Amino acid sequence: MSPAILINLLFPIVTGLILWIMKPAEGSLVSYDFLLWFGVGAVLQILASISLMTRNHTRWVIGWTLLWIASASYMASYAPAHLQDGLIEGKWNEVKAPEPQFPKGMEVSDKEQADLVVRKSKWKKDRAAADLWFRDQYKITSTAESYDSLAQRDLAKAAYLLYVLAFAFLSSFFSISWFAGRGRLHEYDVKGGSEEDPLAVNLMGRDPADA
Partner 1 sequence: MTFVLPILGVLQADPGADTATSSFLEQLGTFLSDAAGWSWGLPFILMLGSVGLFYTVRLGLPQFRNFKHAIGIGAGRYDEDGDPGEVTHFQALSAALSATVGVGNIAGVATAIAMGGPGAAIWMAIFGFFGMMTKFASCTLAIRYRVYDEGGAILGGPMESIRRGLGPRFHWLAGAFAICALIASFGGGNMVQANQMANAFTHEFADSFPSGMSEDISFLGLDTNWLRVTLGIVVAAIVGLVIIGGIKRIGHVAGILVPVMALFYVGGAGTIIALHASEVPAMLSEMFRLAFLGGQEQVAGGAVGYTVVGALTWGARRAVFSNEAGLGSAPIAHAAARTKEPIREGLVAMLEPFIDTIVICMMTALVILLTDAHVYFHDKEGAVLTREAFRLGLESAPWLGAVVVSIGLVLFAISTAISWSYYGDRCASFLFGAWAVKPYRAIYVGVIFLGANLNAKTVWNFSDVANAAMAFWHIVALLALTPVVIALYRDYFSRPQIPTKQLEEAKRREGGDA
List contacts with partner 1 (CB under 8 A): 74-75, 78-79, 82-83, 86, 89, 97-98, 100-103, 106-107, 119, 122-123, 148-149, 152-153, 155-156, 158-160, 162-163, 165-167, 169-170, 173-174, 176-178, 180-183, 185, 190-196, 198-199, 202-206, 208, 211
Q: How far is the CB of 49 from partner 1 (least distance, A)?
A: 18
Q: Which residue lies nearer to partner 1 by CB, 139 or 198?
A: 198
Q: How far is the CB of 56 from partner 1 (least distance, A)?
A: 15
Q: Which residue lies nearer to partner 1 by CB, 53 or 170?
A: 170
H-state helical runs in the chain:
3-22, 35-51, 57-96, 110-137, 148-180, 182-187
Q: Which residue lies nearer to partner 1 by CB, 27 or 183?
A: 183
Task: Decide: 171 and 8 in contact? Cβ < 8 Å.
Answer: yes
Q: Which residue lies nearer to partner 1 by CB, 9 or 158?
A: 158
Q: How far is the CB of 148 from partner 1 (least distance, A)?
A: 7
Q: Which residue lies nearer to partner 1 by CB, 3 or 205?
A: 205
Here the contacts of 66-69 (C-beta below 8 Å, separation 24 or greater) are 67/8, 67/172, 67/175, 67/176, 67/179, 68/176, 69/44
Q: How far is the CB of 83 from partner 1 (least distance, A)?
A: 6
Q: Buried (b) or exposed (e) across 117-148, using 16+ Cβ within 10 A?
A: eeeeeeeeebbeebbebbbebeeeeeeeeebe
Q: How far is the CB of 142 from partner 1 (least distance, A)?
A: 19
Closest CA to 22 of 121, 158, 124: 158
CA distance 187 to 55: 7
